[in-house]
């Protein structure tokens, strides 16, 4: 635990941003394309212009409803032990979602992703301790007609018992996913008692626009008590001011508008103050997801969320790199480290390259290690033991050694994070082992993990129930080429894999 989080904004500046947002909502307003949403706003004191579809918000209305947002958000898991609440369960970290492409783990080329990839990613996420929430990483290009999102959720839920989260296209799809949840849980009531699927939506198309479908999703989830939260993804210089403070004021107004709609729909609907703030690269208009500015804006966003007493989250550790190289490394580490020191509750980080366009298995394994380093930052320094430390230093004395102390032996495995991908051998050893680069080591590790039996898989009888409930469902099974078993350590190779595989 840190004793004081990093702050960019002074208390007076937080108030000033809040005030600017209220002014924006009161005087500029939000274009609301969904008629039912306009009706709800209108019923609760907002001014609706039916011609322009612009809703403006009296300050008192915003202040009344934003106070109803609960202080915590829970990501329920199919395996209840893996449920995470923010704040409360430390820094919670998710994969980043919805890339259209994937770097093929066998040939390194990018291609469209499929439901089979999602099954594999789910199996991998189950085994990565740094990743708490599986936000479904890719799209399913093989989805049968009418099952676009179901073909993503089914393999995810089938292979991963951690909280699953992603977006759907519309209400029809949301109902499909609700049915999927009910089939897995046994009934809709049991599912709603512990809804292990969290819905995401783009609550705002910046600047200041609520489109039809995602606004309908927001209301549907609020009405049905389905856990959901929006992500707002403005681009500074394009869909928001280029100045970070201007972007922050707009972001804040957009979040407040979302919060009002959720609370007028059902008071007490949990939300996350969640963003993907990117400053555009004005040389080319490139989407600079890997820029340090994303981390800086996130630090300020965390302060606004704390001011409102709501959980904070952001997409961070994104990268513009096309492969898991040095750029991917530094872009992925810097922005989440900044936000971690600012006290962020929730980070969406893992697995994507190329400005959210491509998923990469090796990168996800690297990101798991980065996630675990980030969690270490927020752990306790074990400050209580200062007295014992002085005694230990006294025992060693000037020029002495600590390696054989009881204190050292007792804490050897817990005092520091022990990485699995970062290499700490001498150069000679690294060379003897083939001078393998980090991404290549991580990809081998991913393949090794994917050869393990899936202990988090949906039990066969429940799976049969699900498959009976839908026609034409994708297989959802995690299959790996037989050649991948070469990545297993010797003693686990053919025999053990065969045995486990037959369970």
The two structure tokens encoding residue 484: 């991948």
Residue 347, φ and ψ in degrees, nearest 5: -125, 130
Residues 41/265, Cβ–Cβ less than 8 Å: no
Nearer to its own copies, 59 or 376 (CB): 376
Alpha helices in 309-397 (DSSP H): 326-341, 361-377, 386-396
Residue pair 169/149 in contact by the 8 Å Cβ criterion: yes
* Number of Cβ atoms within 10 Å of the Cβ of 283: 7
Q: Tell me how far apart the alpha carbons of residues 80 and 305 are, in angstroms, rounded to a whole number.
A: 27
Q: Minimum CB separation from its own copies for residue 42, in Å?
A: 17
3 state SS of 313: strand
Pick between residue 68 and residue 292 the one whose CB is nearest to its own copies. Answer: 292
Least Å from the CB of residue 199 to its own copies: 24
C-beta separation of 375 from 130 below 8 A: yes
Helix axes 171-185, 212-223, angle to 10 degrees: 30
CB of 14 to its own copies, least distance (A): 9
**Residue 254 and residue 295: Cα distance in Å, rounded?**
19
Cβ-based nearer residue to its own copies, 182 or 352: 352
Identify which of residues 267 and 412 has a Cβ nearer to its own copies in the complex.
412
* CB closer to its own copies out of 71 and 402: 402
Q: How far is the CB of 44 from its own copies (least distance, A)?
A: 19
**274, 317 in Cβ contact below 8 A?**
no
Write down the least CB distance from residue 421 to its own copies, Å.
Answer: 7
Phi, psi at residue 255, to the nearest 5°? -65, -40
- For β-strands 209-210 and 197-201, DSSP reports them as unpaired
Q: Which residues pair with 216 in a beta bridge?
A: none
What are the φ/ψ torsions at residue 85 (nearest 5 degrees)?
Answer: -115, 135
Query: How far apart are CB 484 and its own copies at their closest, in Å?
Result: 21
Q: Taking the complex as a whole, how short is the minimal distance between the CB of residue 380 and its own copies, in angstroms?
A: 10
Of 388 and 499, CB closest to its own copies:
388
Q: How far is the CB of 370 from its own copies (least distance, A)?
A: 5
Measured distance CA(236)–CA(1) in Å, rounded: 33
Q: What are phi and psi of 271, to 5 degrees?
A: -140, 165
Our CB check for its own copies shows the closer of 439 and 452 to be: 439
**Residue closest to 474 by CA, chosen among 185, 149, 169:** 149
Q: Which is nearer to its own copies, 437 or 467 (CB)?
A: 437
């Amino acid at each position: 635990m840190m004793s004081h989080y990093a702050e960019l904004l002074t208390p007076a500046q937080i108030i000033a941003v809040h005030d600017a947002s209220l002014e924006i909502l009161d005087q500029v307003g939000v274009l609301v394309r969904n008629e039912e949403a306009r009706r709800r706003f209108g019923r609760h004191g907002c001014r609706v212009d039916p011609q322009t579809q612009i809703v403006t918000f009296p300050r008192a209305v915003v202040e009344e409803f934003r106070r109803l947002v609960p202080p915590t958000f829970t990501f329920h898991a199919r395996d209840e032990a893996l449920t995470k609440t923010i704040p409360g369960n430390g820094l919670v970290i998710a994969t980043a979602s919805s890339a259209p492409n994937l770097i093929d783990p066998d040939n390194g080329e990018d291609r469209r992703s499929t439901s089979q990839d999602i099954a594999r990613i789910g199996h991998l996420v189950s085994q990565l301790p740094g990743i708490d929430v599986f936000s479904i990483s890719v799209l399913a290009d093989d989805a049968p007609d009418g099952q676009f999102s179901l073909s993503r959720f089914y393999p995810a839920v089938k292979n991963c018992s951690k909280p699953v989260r992603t977006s759907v296209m519309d209400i029809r799809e949301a109902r499909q996913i609700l049915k999927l949840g009910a089939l897995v849980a046994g009934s809709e009531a049991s599912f709603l008692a512990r809804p292990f699927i969290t819905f995401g939506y783009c609550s705002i198309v910046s600047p200041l626009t609520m489109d039809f479908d995602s606004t309908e999703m927001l209301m549907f989830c609020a009405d049905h008590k389905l856990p959901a939260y929006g992500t707002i993804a403005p681009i500074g210089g394009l869909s928001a001011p280029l100045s970070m403070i201007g972007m922050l004021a707009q972001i804040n107004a957009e979040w407040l508008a979302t919060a009002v709609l959720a609370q007028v729909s059902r008071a007490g609907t949990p939300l996350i103050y969640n963003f993907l703030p990117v400053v555009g690269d004005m040389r080319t208009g490139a989407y600079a997801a890997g820029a340090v500015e994303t981390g800086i804006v996130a630090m300020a966003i965390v302060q606004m969320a704390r001011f409102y007493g709501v959980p904070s989250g952001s997409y961070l550790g994104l990268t513009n790199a096309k492969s898991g190289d040095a750029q991917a490394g530094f872009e992925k580490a810097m922005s989440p480290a900044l936000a971690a020191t600012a006290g962020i509750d929730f980070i969406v980080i893992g697995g994507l390259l190329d400005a959210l366009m491509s998923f990469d298995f090796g990168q996800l394994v690297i990101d798991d290690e980065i996630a675990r380093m980030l969690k270490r930052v927020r752990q306790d320094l074990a400050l209580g033991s200062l007295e014992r430390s002085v005694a230990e230093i006294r025992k060693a004395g000037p020029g002495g050694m600590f390696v054989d102390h009881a204190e050292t032996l007792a804490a050897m495995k817990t005092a520091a994070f022990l990485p699995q991908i970062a290499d700490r051998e001498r150069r000679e050893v690294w060379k003897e082992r083939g001078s393998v680069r980090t991404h290549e080591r991580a990809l081998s590790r991913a393949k090794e993990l994917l050869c393990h039996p899936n202990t988090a898989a949906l039990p066969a009888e429940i799976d049969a129930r699900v498959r009976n409930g839908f026609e034409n469902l994708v297989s959802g099974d995690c299959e790996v080429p037989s050649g991948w078993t070469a990545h297993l350590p010797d003693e686990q190779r053919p025999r053990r894999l065969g045995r486990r595989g037959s369970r």
